[in-house]
Amino acid sequence: MPEPTSIEIFELGDFQLSTGFTLNNAKLAYRTHGSLNEAKDNAVLFPHFLAGSPDSLEMYIGEGRPFDPRKYFIILPGLFGGGLSSSPSNTSIPFNQGNFPDTHIADDVIAQHRLLTEKFGIQQLKLVLGWSVGALQTYEWAVRFPDMVKRAASIAGAPKPSPWTVLWLRTVIEEPIIADPGWNNGFYTDPQAVQAGLRRVGHGAAMTLPQVGFYRDELWRSIGFSSVDDFVARFWEAFWLPLDPNNLVAQARKTRTADPSGGGDIAEALGRIKAEMFVYAFTGDRMFQPEECKVDSQRIPNAKFEEIGGVSGHLTTFGLTEKDRQVMDEILTKLLTD
Amino acid sequence: MPEPTSIEIFELGDFQLSTGFTLNNAKLAYRTHGSLNEAKDNAVLFPHFLAGSPDSLEMYIGEGRPFDPRKYFIILPGLFGGGLSSSPSNTSIPFNQGNFPDTHIADDVIAQHRLLTEKFGIQQLKLVLGWSVGALQTYEWAVRFPDMVKRAASIAGAPKPSPWTVLWLRTVIEEPIIADPGWNNGFYTDPQAVQAGLRRVGHGAAMTLPQVGFYRDELWRSIGFSSVDDFVARFWEAFWLPLDPNNLVAQARKTRTADPSGGGDIAEALGRIKAEMFVYAFTGDRMFQPEECKVDSQRIPNAKFEEIGGVSGHLTTFGLTEKDRQVMDEILTKLLTD
């Protein structure tokens, strides 16, 4: 078994975005674990969530973990705007920083498709999965390349963001950043000039991501914090502060426009999915509400829906509590049980 | 029956705040409807919510309305910081604008008590009621002056804000305002210099106050809006834009510190209430969650708790839908039915 790779770069050349711009020397960053077998049928694609990175998903990979690299070839791609693939933070003029063009989830999936087919010669994925923005990519994959996805799983996710989630992306992610005087239209000289805004992103996330009752029951105690303010500072502010403000805004805008139907009929688009699909929702997840996830699943020919309670709403995917980690492990392990 | 009065001012003189500062020539604004009877036992005190004013409550008063001025003497006091009573916006140096001292809900209640006793000679209130910050005042009244409150009602409220609500006050109200460059430490020359911040307050409120499902079910359609963005602009931004930024920050900070136990044992404090008390909570109100309101009611010797579903969560008190208005009317009407 090969060691997991460091971040590698797949050169996309002059890559035409769905927004009409062309990114010269566009880059798709990725990391792999395990190796592709001779039949090329053991590939698992695991794209990441907003503000995440390939590294954010490593905890689920390893011997005795849900994704065993002795059996599977696990590919962790980075998002455009995520900081490793082409992003505002690493692109040169004219598309540097505040002038990076909008990208769509479809662009990410098209780039990932090129990596899989051109670099690895993969014809079919054993599994595509992700949560939150990772789930948006999963749906885009299942709709856009139906023959290439054998199995897919959306965890705390949807094909497109709900109207509430669109409001959240604007209010919690974009506005605190772009309202910071240090933002300077995205042309700050140091990302930390926008740190007051990034902290406020953390406050909005702290307010909206935990399940109702989290603060009432003082669940921050059980995960090592001494007060609400301590949890907000050491967990939520600390989570956002290292991230590049332009990259976050790029990811938020991309998330807002995600739509595998391309502005068409979403029910019809989901009806074209050929993958065996698993749709998991968490009780109390306001971002991707179980009622809405269930409707998504009913539009897919071969889908199973499950709502899981007693966990931390959208925050479940962060695996902060023992119960959340256990539920995430169980879900992921089941996905590769034939 | 006398006509309702315009806003009147009760001069409090040099009023010592619980925060240690003295407001010279402090003013308590109020409006009344109806007249005090000879026995002085028909007074209803109805303090207002955050960002409200005495005028916000007029819709419940009138012939054929829950509070009939032919029978009751209804007193609508204004909050310190509300813009009509002493506030950042109307106080002269040294306590003008950004240097207005913090006030507590207890200060409001003490000022109201002086109005009722000194100006009107009222010994006992037939009813004190309010929602949200109006409910904070109601609890403070019932604990601080137990013999003076015959009946009290908290609607979508609590004796003190929950930890989530504290986070909300900071994140949704204070931070968007004080992060606006036009804020200038509270020493703007025109409140509209802070309008970008006030609009963002509206976005946070739009995101957090309606019940889960409001946007999914497109309930904005039924109340006259053509899209989520239209609802956010014409309802939520329009609600906050006319308000003075310093006044809002003053109200948010006051709300955060509300506590009728004065930092002591809240269960013991509520145990001292002598009023017959009604505690109403709305399903889906994240600000004052029914589970929490129920616990409050259980600490009061003579309280009835009721959770009402099928309405608009915390937004119910705004009476935007026919159902919400009907429920509010029913609750208020019952309060004066012996």
> Could you say which architecture CATH assigns to the domain A165-251?
Orthogonal Bundle (1.10)
Q: What's the rounded Cα separation, in Å, for the pair A158 and A136?
A: 6
For residue B32, the cross-strand partners are B75
Shortest Cα distance from B285 to chain A (angstroms)? 10
Q: What's the rounded Cα separation, in Å, for the pair B11 and A337?
A: 76
Q: What's the rounded Cα separation, in Å, for the pair B30 and B7?
A: 6
- Measure Cα distances from B98 to A327, B90, B101, B106, B302 in Å: 49, 12, 9, 21, 42
Read off the pLDDT of residues B241-283 as tens digits, 9 standing for 90 and up. Answer: 999 999 999 999 999 999 999 999 999 999 999 999 999 999 9
Read off the pLDDT of residues B128-143 as tens digits, 9 standing for 90 and up. Answer: 999 999 999 999 999 9
- What residues of B act catalytically? 132, 285, 314
* Residue B1: pLDDT band with limits 50, 70, 90: low
Q: What's the rounded Cα separation, in Å, for the pair A325 and A75?
A: 21
DSSP secondary structure letters along A45-94: E-PPPTT--GGGGGGGBSTTSSB-TTT-EEEEEPPTTSSSSS-GGG--TT
Q: CB count, 10 Å around CB of A291?
A: 12
* Residue A212: pLDDT band with limits 50, 70, 90: confident
Which residues of chain A lie closer than 8 angstroms to B215, CB-CB?
162-164, 167
- Whether cis (ω within 30° of 0) applies to the bond prior to B94 is yes
Q: Is B232 on the interface with A (CB under 8 A)?
A: yes
| CB within 8 Å of B314: residues ≥ 6 apart | B132, B156, B209, B282, B285, B286, B287, B288
Q: Is B171 on the interface with A (CB under 8 A)?
A: yes
- Smallest Cβ–Cβ distance between B171 and the set A179, A197, A204 belongs to A204
Nearest CA in chain A to B194: A179
- Identify which of B209, B224, B223 has the alpha carbon closest to the alpha carbon of residue B313: B209
Which residues of chain A lie closer than 8 angstroms to B181, CB-CB?
181
Which residues of chain B lie closer than 8 angstroms to A172, CB-CB?
207
Beta carbons of B215 and A168 less than 8 Å apart: no
Beta carbons of A179 and B179 less than 8 Å apart: yes
**At residue A238, does pLDDT exceed 80?**
yes
Q: Is A204 on the interface with B (CB under 8 A)?
A: yes
Tokens of A218: 């003082």
**At residue A3, does pLDDT exceed 80?**
no
Catalytic residue among A107, A285, A296, A324: A285
- DSSP run (H or E) holding B135: helix B133-144
The reported pLDDT for the residue numbered A337 is 87
**At residue A1, does pLDDT exceed 70?**
no
Q: What's the rounded Cα separation, in Å, for the pair B7 and A213?
A: 41
Q: Is B8 on the interface with A (CB under 8 A)?
A: no
User: What single letter denotes the amino acid at residue B123?
Assistant: Q
Average pLDDT over residues B158-187: 97
The reported pLDDT for the residue numbered B250 is 98
Asked if B266 and A192 touch (Cβ cutoff 8 Å), the reply is no
- Measure Cα distances from A100 to A20, A23, A137 in Å: 13, 9, 20
Read off the pLDDT of residues B50-83 as tens digits, 9 standing for 90 and up. Answer: 999 999 999 999 999 999 999 999 999 999 999 9
Q: Is A229 on the interface with B (CB under 8 A)?
A: no
The reported pLDDT for the residue numbered A230 is 98
Nearest CA in chain A to B181: A181
- Measure Cα distances from B205 to A118, A167, A168, B132, B198 in Å: 48, 11, 11, 14, 11
| CB within 8 Å of A37: residues ≥ 6 apart | A73
The reported pLDDT for the residue numbered B337 is 87
Rg (CA), chain A: 19
Shortest Cα distance from B302 to chain A (angstroms)? 25
Q: What's the rounded Cα separation, in Å, for the pair B80 and B86?
A: 5
Catalytic residue among A33, A244, A314, A324: A314
Which CATH number is A8-161+259-335's, of 2.60.40.1120, 3.30.300.30, 3.30.750.24, 3.40.50.1820?
3.40.50.1820
Asked if B245 and B186 touch (Cβ cutoff 8 Å), the reply is yes
**At residue B312, does pLDDT exceed 90?**
yes
- Measure Cα distances from B167 to B63, B163, B171 in Å: 40, 6, 6
**At residue A192, does pLDDT exceed 80?**
yes
The reported pLDDT for the residue numbered A2 is 57
Phi, psi at B151, each rounded to 5°: -140, 150
Question: What whole-number percentage of chain A has pLDDT above 90?
Answer: 96
Q: Which residue in this structure is represented by tokens 């004066």? A: B336
- Three state DSSP letters for A170-200: HHHHHHHHHCCHHHHHHCCCCHHHHHHHHHH
Interface ipTM? 0.93
Strand B8-16 relative to strand B22-33, pairing: antiparallel
Nearest CA in chain A to B214: A164
Asked if B274 and B149 touch (Cβ cutoff 8 Å), the reply is yes
Beta carbons of B207 and A168 less than 8 Å apart: yes
Which CATH number is B8-161+258-335's, of 3.40.630.10, 3.40.50.1820, 3.60.10.10, 2.60.40.1170?
3.40.50.1820
Shortest Cα distance from B204 to chain A (angstroms)? 6
DSSP secondary structure letters along B287-300: SS-HHHHHHHHHTS
What b/e string do you get for A47-57 counting C-beta neighbours within 10 Å, with b at 16 or more? bbbbbbbbebb
**At residue A5, does pLDDT exceed 80?**
no
292-321 of B, contacting A, C-beta below 8 A:
292
- Helical axes B245-257 vs B105-114, angle rounded to 10°: 100
Tokens of B75: 């007193």
- Identify which of A152, A151, A158 has the alpha carbon closest to the alpha carbon of residue A136: A158
The reported pLDDT for the residue numbered A304 is 98
The reported pLDDT for the residue numbered B332 is 97
- Identify which of A338, A272, A335 has the alpha carbon closest to the alpha carbon of residue A301: A272
- Identify which of B48, B36, B46, B24 has the alpha carbon closest to the alpha carbon of residue B117: B36
Tokens of A133: 């923005």
Q: Is B228 on the interface with A (CB under 8 A)?
A: yes
Q: Which residue in this structure is represented by tokens 């005090």? A: B36
Mean pLDDT (chain A) is: 96
The reported pLDDT for the residue numbered B212 is 84
Beta carbons of A171 and B196 less than 8 Å apart: no
**At residue B154, does pLDDT exceed 70?**
yes
Phi, psi at A220, each rounded to 5°: -60, -25
Read off the pLDDT of residues A85-142 as tens digits, 9 standing for 90 and up. Answer: 999 999 999 999 999 999 999 999 999 999 999 999 999 999 999 999 999 999 999 9
Report domain extents, chain B.
8-161+258-335, 165-251
